[in-house]
Structure 1
Amino acid sequence: MAVSMKNVDPAFHGVGQKAGMDIWRMENFKPVLLPKESHGKFYSGDSYIVLRSTALKSGGLHYDIHFWLGKDTSQDEAGAAAIKAVELDAALGGRAVQYRETQEHETELFLSYFKPCIIPMEGGVASGFKKLEVEKVEPRLFVVKGRRSVRVAQVPFSRSSLNHDDVFVLDTESTIFQFNGETSSIQERGKALEVVQYIKDTYHDGKCDIIIVDDGTLGSEADTGQFWVLFGGFAPLTKKATVADDAPELPKPKLLCIVEGSFKGVEISKDALDSSKCYVLDCGTELYLWAGRNTSLDARKAAISTAEGLITEHNTAKYTKITRVIEGFETLEFRSYFEKWPLNGHHTVSEEGRGKVAGILKQQGVNTKGILKGSPVKEELPSLPTLNGNLEVWRLVGGVKKEVAAGDVGKFYDHSCYVVIYTVQGEEQKEEYHLYSWTGRYTSPEDKVAATRVMNEKNAELKGRGVQAYIIQGKEPTQFLALFKCVCILKEHTHPGHKEHSIMLVRVRAAGPHIVVAVQLEPVSASLNSSDCFLLQTSSKLYAWSGNLSTAESQRAVLRVAEILKPGVIARPVKESLEPPLFWSSLGGKRKYASHCKPKENPKDPRLYVCSLSQGNLKVTEVHNFTQDDLLSDDIMIMDCHNVLYEWVGQHASSEEKEHSLDVGKKYIERAARLDGMLPDTPIFIITEGNEPTFFTSFFSWDTSKVNVNGDAYAQKIADIQARQAPQETLQRRLTPSASAGTKSESTQRAAAMAALSSQLTSEGKLSKAAQTIITQNSASAPVSPKVHRPSAANSQRAAAMAALSFMFGSKPAPASTVSVDADWVAGSSPFTKAEATGDTDSVTSSKTSEDGGDAGEEIAEFYSYDRLKSTSTNPPPKINIKRKEAYLSPEDFEKLFGMSRTQFYEMPKWKQDQRKRQLLLF
């Protein structure tokens, strides 16, 4: 595609020269580059263009372009963003993949850029940016969905928005609540915790309470009740309508050719794609726009507008995804819809296009350094096991395993199977077990089955802690080769009457530091290669032949192999082109052989996938920008390194998937062989959760403290947040996971609501001004008031509580679904004790002569430090009243810990005093 820079917006000149992210906001239909500090901040009234440039191991750069459309953006602005995204791709040489993103329906790839989440703000350029950063934060209710990349959507602040299946976050001025639906997943609860921490840091400067409310359980009565008060009081949540288990069948994909703004159906075949045209692959929930490499920039712009029109014409959901790919740079997902896709069909024309673009930019004075290529990434060997462990090798012969003698360890014959077990002491004095199954090229089916059986038996003996690897001859990974001083793969002739050939030719390669591989080949001239070294055993001589292009490491290695295969025989070094006549005659005469180095395959970046096996069908979903946190305990994951496969099995994966874990790897290889050219004999490593070897953990920034050996990552995240909070901040930054406490009885949550309500009562028995304000805001969604039976004693504390309830709920009759509240329930659940007949509520909460505490009692002669007074202290002070530990704090320490004076503390209700003391370990 020839590109004229006159058709490319100046904002895109010179972009994409290095790895990173660039974001433009559409302002008056023009892209305006945003500063880095504004990345991740999106406004619902705007449209944005996001460019992600990723450095590849091959040394190039991969580009992903996203145009994000806010829910309130105008149609014209959204169209302009789509067109500008095409221009950005042209400036990059026409190789990028483009994605249409709509608010609350973003792709997993887009969400993976902005962890833990994005929370679009109201407003936009046209509205003058109505920001949320105001002095008082209005309550906002969010629903959080997603097990890895999290979608956060704001929903109406109403009880009707809550349900039992999802996780919700309620953000108020001083407290963030996380409400865990009873049937919500543990993964979503964990991700919601990250969202809570993000909101706390972003909108509260890290200073606010965090309270967790578990649906159907009772935690801290005050905390649970405090949550329900904001919704007008507790009432049972309605259940979602039952949805049929069978998902609606998706329409069959259709391939449509774009012809002058209209569509013409064609067969879904690679051969049907014309390089001079654009096509739409309609998959129902997603559209793929394919542009031939010979299409013009104007044609590509028109095609994206036509695809947008298809959504409107067919009344498809506005959030339908559109992914645009260029010929030669199709994604795996796009290629998967075609029965056959020739892997040699990739084109390098875009390099030429980028060269032309770079030339034009250079004439215009734009710096083009790095525009053609990113910085090459050096390919490194995986982390190898230390060689101070114990190595055991068995050979399978006729289905029976026989231990290999020490002198033959490292020799493998092509008609046999071997099982290798390596035991080594790993980190934290924990033993690691590596189990390898090596299969020769001509191994019998009987021995293959026996090798798999032995592997399973050995792993069962190790209680599933072993790392299992299945290797086929010729595809030995470096982790396996590193276990031996030298790996020799030799021919074995097992059929009767065969006469052993007296001539032996062995190729020797140095595969890495201290790694040598020797492979026996047919003794003919054509087996030679100038880039390797060879051992030639004749009837009377042993030659060590070095090719002109061989490395010094291989030249030294060939002599080592000679000592192993022919001990006591001195090998005669021979350089290429200086061979004696006997050398060639032993190979049947000199013939033509390879005289050039075999080009190395470009290294490929590892990709992580979630895999599930159901009724023999494999479902594969990619995890983008992966981290250790993406390894979820109930999943099976595959790390695809192209030349080796690592399959990670979570502890809580289904028993069916665990049992057929090897089949999962094999089926994945079948799929990858069709779509990405993976070889069928690629080695498979099976790794179980909690037993990850270093050559797997090296793909992550691995934190051993996150290793989830008990499958309780959610509890670990709660502990992590608690660990960030200093003791003196506990009151202000409270975190109360209520899942560990109590019963599912709804009456306990009613009691909790009453407990929180009591804290909002004034001395006159009325609600505080703050509580009245919040309840007024939520009155539209509050349930109709239940009847309240008022007690006869007007001056009692119970009467004060009931008066407050009446004030909150009003006097309307209750619908059938609401819970009736009576005086007996209030009396049983209220935190108040008996009051004096004066009717003054403070007489209960601020008694000066409490038997357990208060300002009265024995005189405090000496103050002690908080560390000595808390219940976990190893050096508690002698002879103190353990019911009044807080009284032994100095006034300064008391205010620092409790955030209030001693007088204010003792004016609080007794139950509330005890709660605060428990939180500070002073109870």
Structure 2
Amino acid sequence: MQSFDLHQVDYDEAYTNGVNTGNVDAAFKKVPKNSTGFHIWRISNMNVVPLARDQYGIFYDGDSYIVYAASQSGQPCGTDTVCREIRGAQLEYHIHFWLGNATAADKSGVAAYKTVELDGYLGGTATQHRETQGNESARFKSYFKNGFRILKGTWPTSTSDHGTTINNTEFHPVLYKVKGKRNPVMIQQQSVSWKHFNSGDVFLILTEKIIFVWVGRAANGIEKLHATKTAMQLKTETNVAKIVFVDDGYEQSIQNEDKVEFQKYLPLNQRHVLPSEQIDDETAEKQHRSDIRLYRCSDNSGKYRVTELKSGPLMQSDLDSDDVFILDHGTFGIWVWVGKRANDKERSEAMRNARGFVKKKKYPNETTVTRVIDGAEPIEFKMLFISWKNKEIVKSKAINGTKSTKIAITKFDANLMYDRPTLAAETQLLDDGSGTTRLWRINKKEAIEISKEKFGNFFNSDCYLVWYSYQNHGQRHILYTWFGLHATPEEMTQAFTKAAEIDNELGGITLLVRVIQGREPCQFLQIFKGKLTVFRGKGIDCDDTGRNSKTPTNYLLHIQGSASYNTKATQVATKATSLNSNYCFVLRKLKRYYVWSGLNSTGDQREMAKHFTGKDFELVLEGKEPQEFWELLGGKQTFVTNKITQDDDDLKNPRLFNCSMLKDKFKAEEVFNFSQTDLIPEDVMLLDASSTIFIFEMALEYLRTDPAGRDVNTPIVQVKQGNEPPIFTGFFKSWDKNWWTEHVCFDELRCQVEGTATKRDVNNENGKEEDDFDKFEKYPVSMLREPTDKLSNKVDPLQKELYLTHDDFVFIFKMKYHDFKNLPKWKQQELKKKAGLF
């Protein structure tokens, strides 16, 4: 456990004036309180200057800015947000101060203390964010749905948006890099030079006659699509005649006239393109996404002391409204939480002290720092905790004796859920479970089908495959793989294999759901009509056919649930200590059944418990048990009697993430204010709906690395594009079933811009082999001719030709890679020796 003091040397000079004096800048007084809105100011001559709305999304790296966003809780905000007074609903305020890489210390200082000033004007409840160029938070990026631009220098007195003037006397070429998946950023480079290029990004070269779109081999589809749209926008803004696409390594293939123009600015004999930008993993290796620590802050005798309290997972109860706390998530961000009863100085200097903490811990200078106020925490802060309850709502319910509203589920069909996807999403139900079901138990490498009379009887050391079909505008299918807590890895793998086989037979249109014992989703329970029973052990006792496993005749079942879509029974130890006053239990001895009803259980729970008995049973109420009941349990003993309270958890809001693996490291970047348009076909997306995870892949790694300590047994649903169920689409505010057919990918848009009718082929006669060739990182010829000990460790010295660009390959071997590949090995070796590549 660490404890240390922050001294003057630990603080940024930018924060020395970061104390609320009560004064309010005239520019801020124009912001209406209790209203939605979005505003941006830049710092000019130590003053706050508002930007015109048509300038939103343009930043200069030599400037500092303040960005203000106010919206109803959970609602989107951004450049198109209009000012609207809100009554009777809570608003959340966010203030970001953005610092360009080349901004002066005095500008960043003004931005810092003016942020405190604006916060004071709004009542001191805003969340404050320190943003630095190239490290913007997901929330900040979400304000600019069409991306934003970062230009060189400071805001000019008169210029076009792109930072240059297009005419015969004043023109200067400009190079932009387009980077980022969700909300790509267009960043102006210092000069038009090959030294800025790398194969992982897309670059725009704005010349007097042409806008060149240079497409890096390893650039992602979103960057390429966004760069094309940006080039089209620049063409309109600058009146440049045309757009020309240039493929990485195929520069020599540019048409003659265009090549002449291209070489004016980027001579091909000087071409040197680096591989994809490498992410520095040195710090990342030290900091895991799941690592999080909590510190208490105190200001005694003029010394600001920071004391470590615990490492994660964190509880909401770890925070105290009398104090200030720092949540250290390392390079993933630092949060400073200010309690309601903290003094004004601690409140106004919270960001300053958090920045001091960053310097003291020797974290990178660009580490994100965010200040949140007790009672006004944003969702991304709450998600760092195991659970989070709105204190005011909980308090109000306690006073008024009210209960949270529950949706009453009556008989319904699949058409209803497809017509009302929000209801399907909230209940996680697709229909009433009346479809067709088939069930298999996995026995080593064999899948044994279970007869219908045994449906619902599972064993906790087994794996099962459940195939459920139902009608809704055609036949729909769900494949559940259910794993008992003591199932073997071999049988789990076999269950996945069997599910994949069935999915392939059905044409890959099934909904694949991974279910772990104890975390069964509502639709799964609905299929078994609220009668799912999980016994201990393996279902190995079978009849002569090997299909019908025998169920136990003596057991105690713990019944959980009050309706068919949430009820299940689990075998527990046949002892009195297993009882719990909040539930009902079923005791069976041979043919005798007892339904024990706890004092805190409900009538609905009792009715569902009766479904697990025979026709004749005896109802036993807690406190009125007959002696024989205790004898069957081995004697009366103490058990849990404390009443469980069900409070609303504020972490049920769905969250969308873009997922990727970089150097075997999992990365999940949140998409704020998401909509269907954020589900790009080229990407892997994860929807975290709290009780269920929807994803194409990598969901387990997401759960394992969640700093809130999420249950890795959370159900995982694999959703396929074009076959999204309403339990998924209902989390999106509007869902257009035809959107996928209208989506234009990069290749299609490129064809439109180039005026071609078919997808480009970059002169390949054998697309797959050329694609394989292009997957290798490319190096200059001179580098590849170096001795083996001087080669990059990524280069295979026996296949140096694969690391040439297409143009270099054709120039050296006088043929394309496809033709070279088809030559005899001895001929290939001979040509490589002549080229100095052997």
Q: Which interval holds the TM-score relative to the shorter structure? A: 0.5 to 0.7
Letter in 2 for 1:679: D
1:441-590 pair list within 5 angstroms: 441-443=485-487, 447-448=491-492, 450-459=494-503, 461=505, 465-492=509-536, 507=559, 509-511=561-563, 516-519=567-570, 557=608, 561=611, 565-566=613-614, 569=615
1:848-901: per-residue Cα shift (whole Å, max 9, x none)? xxxxxxxxxxxxxxxxxxxxxxxxxxxxxxxxxxxxxxxxxxxxxxxxxxxxxx
Letter in 1 for 2:705: R
Structure 1 residue matching 2:453: 3-state secondary structure: helix
How far 1:48 sits from its partner (Å)?
1.5
How far 1:676 sits from its partner (Å)?
0.7
Letter in 1 for 2:495: A
CA contact (8 A) 1:393 1:409 kept: yes
CA contact (8 A) 1:289 1:323 kept: yes
Letter in 1 for 2:692: V
Taking structure 1 as reference, are residues 541 and 712 closer, same or farther at Cα in structure 2, changes over 3 Å only? same
Structure 2 residue matching 1:669: 3-state secondary structure: helix
**Cα distance between partner residues in 2 of 1:388 and 1:250:** 53
CA contact (8 A) 1:211 1:737 kept: no
Letter in 1 for 2:223: E
CA contact (8 A) 1:643 1:678 kept: no
Whether 1:695 aligns to 2:727 is yes
**Cα distance between partner residues in 2 of 1:593 and 1:245:** 55
Say which of 416, 430, 447 aligns to 1:401: 447
**Cα distance between partner residues in 2 of 1:593 and 1:256:** 35
Letter in 2 for 1:509: G
Say which of 709, 713, 717 aligns to 1:681: 713
How far 1:684 sits from its partner (Å)?
2.4
Taking structure 1 as reference, are residues 176 and 262 closer, same or farther at Cα in structure 2, changes over 3 Å only? farther
1:465-491: per-residue Cα shift (whole Å, max 9, x none)? 543322222210123223333332143
**Cα distance between partner residues in 1 of 2:487 and 2:220:** 46
CA contact (8 A) 1:219 1:740 kept: no
CA contact (8 A) 1:121 1:131 kept: no
Residue 430 (structure 2) aligns with? 384
Residue 190 (structure 1) aligns with? 225
More divergent stretch after superposition (81-90 vs 254-263) = 254-263
Residue 689 (structure 2) aligns with? 641
Residue 834 (structure 1) aligns with? none
CA contact (8 A) 2:39 2:68 kept: yes
1:736-770: per-residue Cα shift (whole Å, max 9, x none)? 6997166499xxxxxxxxxxxxxxxxxxxxxxxxx
Letter in 2 for 1:167: V
Whether 1:154 aligns to 2:191 is no
Letter in 1 for 2:700: K
Task: Calculate the TM-score normalised by the size of structure 1.
Answer: 0.56
Letter in 2 for 1:401: A
Letter in 2 for 1:404: I
Structure 1 residue matching 2:106: 3-state secondary structure: helix
**Cα distance between partner residues in 2 of 1:536 and 1:529:** 14
How far 1:383 sits from its partner (Å)?
5.4
CA contact (8 A) 1:328 1:347 kept: no
Residue 55 (structure 1) aligns with? 73
How far 1:185 sits from its partner (Å)?
3.9
CA RMSD of the aligned region, Å? 6.1
**Cα distance between partner residues in 1 of 2:278 and 2:134:** 24
1:237-264: per-residue Cα shift (whole Å, max 9, x none)? 6223579968473496899999999999
Taking structure 1 as reference, are residues 680 and 250 closer, same or farther at Cα in structure 2, changes over 3 Å only? closer
Structure 2 residue matching 1:510: 3-state secondary structure: coil
How far 1:147 sits from its partner (Å)?
2.3
How far 1:67 sits from its partner (Å)?
0.8
CA contact (8 A) 1:8 1:88 kept: no
Structure 1 residue matching 2:646: 3-state secondary structure: coil
**Cα distance between partner residues in 1 of 2:632 and 2:281:** 70
**Alignment length (residue pairs):** 673
Whether 1:80 aligns to 2:114 is no
How far 1:626 sits from its partner (Å)?
3.8
Structure 2 residue matching 1:666: 3-state secondary structure: helix
Residue 435 (structure 1) aligns with? 479
Residue 645 (structure 2) aligns with? 598
Structure 2 residue matching 1:696: 3-state secondary structure: helix
**Cα distance between partner residues in 2 of 1:134 and 1:249:** 36
How far 1:382 sits from its partner (Å)?
3.0
Letter in 2 for 1:109: R
Letter in 2 for 1:599: Q
Structure 2 residue matching 1:116: 3-state secondary structure: coil
Structure 1 residue matching 2:282: 3-state secondary structure: coil
How far 1:194 sits from its partner (Å)?
3.4
CA contact (8 A) 1:546 1:576 kept: yes
How far 1:182 sits from its partner (Å)?
5.7
Taking structure 1 as reference, are residues 601 and 137 closer, same or farther at Cα in structure 2, changes over 3 Å only? same
Say which of 144, 147, 154 aligns to 2:178: 144
Whether 1:418 aligns to 2:464 is yes
How far 1:424 sits from its partner (Å)?
4.7
Instruction: Give the greater-gyration-radius structure (CA).
Output: 1
1:538-567: per-residue Cα shift (whole Å, max 9, x none)? 8887677777876676566556x26xx53x
**Cα distance between partner residues in 2 of 1:313 and 1:504:** 57
Letter in 1 for 2:655: R
**Cα distance between partner residues in 2 of 1:317 and 1:502:** 62
Whether 1:666 aligns to 2:700 is yes
Residue 809 (structure 2) aligns with? none
Taking structure 1 as reference, are residues 632 and 441 closer, same or farther at Cα in structure 2, changes over 3 Å only? same
**Cα distance between partner residues in 2 of 1:134 and 1:284:** 33
**Cα distance between partner residues in 2 of 1:393 and 1:308:** 57
**Cα distance between partner residues in 2 of 1:256 and 1:504:** 47
Say which of 105, 113, 117 aligns to 2:147: 117
Letter in 2 for 1:469: V
Structure 2 residue matching 1:676: 3-state secondary structure: coil
Structure 1 residue matching 2:562: 3-state secondary structure: strand
**Cα distance between partner residues in 1 of 2:204 and 2:183:** 17
1:386-444: per-residue Cα shift (whole Å, max 9, x none)? 857542101235664322212232333444332112245666x5x65422122234546
Whether 1:106 aligns to 2:136 is yes
CA contact (8 A) 1:144 1:168 kept: yes
Letter in 2 for 1:149: N
**Cα distance between partner residues in 1 of 2:330 and 2:570:** 49
**Cα distance between partner residues in 1 of 2:386 and 2:127:** 18
CA contact (8 A) 1:475 1:681 kept: yes
How far 1:41 sits from its partner (Å)?
5.6
1:3-45: per-residue Cα shift (whole Å, max 9, x none)? 9996474848998857765555557767677787775465665
Letter in 2 for 1:473: Q
CA contact (8 A) 2:556 2:585 kept: no
Structure 2 residue matching 1:119: 3-state secondary structure: strand
1:231-380 pair list within 5 angstroms: 232=264, 235-236=267-268, 238-240=271-273, 247=280, 249-250=282-283, 270=311, 296-299=343-346, 301-302=348-349, 304-305=351-352, 321-324=368-371, 380=426
1:775-804: per-residue Cα shift (whole Å, max 9, x none)? xxxxxxxxxxxxxxxxxxxxxxxxxxxxxx
Residue 828 (structure 2) aligns with? none
**Cα distance between partner residues in 1 of 2:32 and 2:460:** 53
**Cα distance between partner residues in 2 of 1:558 and 1:197:** 65
Structure 2 residue matching 1:110: 3-state secondary structure: helix
Identity %: 27
1:583-615: per-residue Cα shift (whole Å, max 9, x none)? 888776797764745314514223333445578
How far 1:146 sits from its partner (Å)?
1.6
1:616-635: per-residue Cα shift (whole Å, max 9, x none)? 75444434444445455665
Which runs of 5 or more structure 1 residues have no equivalent in the other structure? Answer: 353-376, 650-663, 723-732, 746-923
